Structure 1
Amino acid sequence: MKTAKTSFAIILITSLFFLWGFALNLNPILIPHLKKACQLSDAQSAFIDSASYIAYFLLAIS
Structure 2
Amino acid sequence: MYRRVATTESFRVTFNDAGFESVKIESKGESGQFAREWDDNRDVSEYVVSVIIDGRKPTQ
Query: Fold conserved (TM > 0.5)?
Result: no
Which structure shows the bigger proportion of residues in strand conformation? 2
TM-score for the superposition, normalised by structure 2: 0.33
> Taking CA–CA contacts closer than 8 Å with sequence separation of 6 or more, which of the two structures ends up with the larger relative contact order?
2
TM-score for the superposition, normalised by structure 1: 0.32
